[in-house]
Amino acid sequence: MTKRLEQTQQQILKHHGGNGAHARQMITNSYNRRHDERFWQFWDEVVAVNHQPSDGVLDMGAGIGQFVKDCAERYPESNIYGIEAAPYMLENPLVQPENVSLLVDDLNQPQAQIALQSLSMVMANMVVHELTQPIKMFKAAYQWLKPGGRLCVIDVVRQPLKDYLSQRYTDTQVWGDQTTVADLEDAFEHFQEHNRYHPDDIVFMLTLGGFQLIEQTSQSEGRFVRIVVEK
Indicate the SS3 state at residue 78.
coil
Sheet holding 224-230, edge to edge: 100-104, 80-84, 56-60, 119-125, 145-156, 224-230, 212-219
pLDDT by 10s per residue, the chain, length 231: 676 766 766 676 566 666 656 666 777 788 888 899 999 999 999 999 999 999 999 999 998 899 999 999 999 999 999 999 877 777 877 889 999 999 999 999 999 999 999 999 999 999 999 898 999 999 999 999 999 999 999 999 999 999 989 888 887 788 888 899 999 998 898 888 888 999 999 999 999 999 999 999 999 989 999 999 999
The pTM for the full model equals 0.89
CATH topology of domain 3-158+196-230: Rossmann fold (3.40.50)
Instruction: Give me the residue spans of the domains in the chain.
Output: 3-158+196-230, 159-195
Could you count the other beta carbons within 10 Å of the beta carbon of residue 212? 11
Question: What Cα–Cα distance (Å) separates residue 100 from each residue in 30, 118, 120, 131, 147?
Answer: 22, 15, 15, 24, 23
Distance CA 98, CA 66 (A): 15
